[in-house]
Amino acid sequence: MSESKLRPVRQKIGMIFQSFNLFSTKTVAQNVAYPLQLDHWRKDYQDKRVKELLEFVGLAEHANKYPAQLSGGQKQRVGIARALATNPKILLADEATSALDPETTTEVLDLLKKINEQLGVTIVLITHQMNVVQQIAHHVAVMSAGRIVEQGTVYRIFAAPREDVTKRFIATAISGLPDEARVAKMHEDWPGRLVTVIVRQHDITDPVTNTRINASGQNISELISKHQIDSNLVFGGIDTVQGVAIGAITYSFDGADGEVDDFLDELARNSDIVDFGTAKNPVDYNEAVEHAGIASPVELTEEDGAARDEQAEQVEQVDDVVTMTPREVGVDGTENTEEK
């Protein structure tokens, strides 16, 4: 697109910065009013809009304070209010939570959800924090070296990632898969067959390959009883993505000669498993993980660190819901027919 065609598109995009980018010599109210001044709003409408926005983000009582008097979370709320000032259709948030502590991150994410749900604003969030994507996103695009390599719904990406870079990112957020040192320790403590069972509560359809990926780990108790296998849950965890269970659980299985093999053969027909073998006959960790097509936590640590240094890998969280055009909706979600 030419610059002349890009200009009106950019005018409908609000920007939220990682480092807040507030004017230190302006008050909170003056920072929020700045884009309205550039857009030549009447002074009385500027004042009204600023008041509405500060109430919306929970900073009404801080209107006359300066950025130096605010916490990091409050500064980001000012930045969000400023980004909303001219009623954008899209908010572009560049690592908006990476400089915040976990509690403040949750508060900011709740505010972004509120903006999307009540104001109908699409939010594009660029982040390396997969837990952020897990909490708030509707649609995900994974970027590597400046291009999109994979995209889909949040659950599809978390439950069945295709690309190696995606698998490495997901390994940081989904609990359950033990690293190599953990497996070695479990072999010392448990003589049985160590097997990690991947848990997916729902089937998934991959729109790219048009293939169906079945749920996993849903009938393990039934099979344990059928084959009379002794089982001990030794490691793992289950999380939820968009309200659907996902994770991995590692068991130590013991049974009569051949019975464990028969049990695992049947389990593998409808579940994804990682077989680490027994203490006497262990399976090489990398071989076991590679055979299962799952990213190793160790692999992630080594490769992801280098990628972040090069700023070559990013995950985009894209909310794809727009319910009203910018000029039709006020800060409280009601129609606004006033002119500037």
Per-residue model confidence as pLDDT tens digits over 233-265: 999 988 888 888 888 999 999 998 799 999 999
Residues of CATH 3.40.50.300 domain(s) within the chain?
A: 3-121+322-328
How far apart (Å, rounded) are the C-alpha atoms in residues 275 and 193?
8
Alpha-carbon span 103 to 214, nearest angstrom = 36
- Percentage of the chain modeled with pLDDT above 70: 84
Model confidence at 111, pLDDT cuts 50, 70, 90, reads very high
Segment 275-280 mean pLDDT: 95
Residue 142 has pLDDT above 60, yes or no: yes
Least confident of 132-146, 204-218, 277-291, 308-322: 308-322
pLDDT higher than threshold 80 for residue 113: yes
Residue 294 has a pLDDT of 63
Closest C-alpha to 72, from 95, 103, 102, 104: 104
Beta-carbon count within 10 A of 98 CB: 14
Enumerate the CATH 3.30.70.260 domain ranges in the chain, comma separated: 174-294
Q: How far apart are CA 121 and CA 322, in angstroms?
A: 6
- Find where tokens 């049985």 sit: 192
Task: Choose between 301 and 89: higher pLDDT.
Answer: 89
Buried b (16+ CB within 10 A) or exposed e, 285-320: beebbeebebbbbebbeebbeebeeeeebbbbbbbe
Main-chain phi, psi angles of 335, to 5 degrees: -65, 140
Minimum mean pLDDT range among 29-33, 149-153, 292-296, 306-310: 306-310
User: Where is pLDDT greater, at 302 or 328?
Assistant: 302
Could you report the per-residue pLDDT of 31-82, keeping only the tens digit for each? 999 999 999 999 999 999 999 999 999 999 999 999 999 999 999 999 999 9
Q: What DSSP state is assigned to residue 86?
A: T
Q: Which residue has the higher pLDDT, 145 or 173?
A: 145
pLDDT over 60 at 334, yes or no: no
> Looking at the domain covering 3-121+322-328, what would its CATH class be?
alpha beta
Higher pLDDT, 108 or 312: 108
What confidence tier does 292 reach under pLDDT thresholds 50, 70, 90? confident
Question: 126 CB contacts (<8 Å, ≥6 apart)?
Answer: 92, 93, 94, 95, 314, 315, 316, 317
Query: Hey, what are 333's tokens?
Result: 């979600």
| 144 three-class SS | strand
Q: Quick check: pTM over 0.85?
A: no
Cα–Cα distance measured from residue 137 to residue 22, given in angstroms and rounded to the nearest whole number:
26
Picking from 44, 109, 43, 46, the residue whose alpha carbon sits closest to that of residue 73 is: 109
What pairs with residue 254 in β-bridges? 230
Q: What are the angstrom distances between the C-alpha of 336 and each of 111, 260, 280, 333?
A: 21, 67, 72, 9
Per-residue pLDDT tens over the stretch 170-221: 877 776 789 999 999 999 999 999 999 998 888 877 666 677 777 888 889 9
Q: Which residue has the higher pLDDT, 285 or 319?
A: 285
Cα distances (angstroms) measured from residue 324 to each of 6, 51, 175, 189: 21, 22, 38, 59
What is the band of 16 on the pLDDT scale with cuts at 50, 70, 90? very high
> What percent of the chain has pLDDT above 90?
53
Distances (CA, A) of 111 to 64, 104, 200: 22, 11, 30
Backbone angles phi, psi at 223, to 5 degrees: -70, -35
Mean pLDDT, residues 100-109: 92
Higher pLDDT, 168 or 229: 229
Tokens of residue 200, six digits: 């997916």
Closest Cα to residue 132, out of 152, 164, 148, 108?
108
Dist. CA 210–CA 2, nearest whole Å:
36
Is pLDDT above 50 for 300? no
CA distance 179 to 296: 7
- Per DSSP, helices labelled H in 232-284 are 259-270
The model's confidence at residue 130, banded by pLDDT at 50, 70 and 90, is confident
Instruction: State both tokens at 133.
Output: 């994507």
CATH T-level fold of 174-294: Alpha-Beta Plaits (3.30.70)
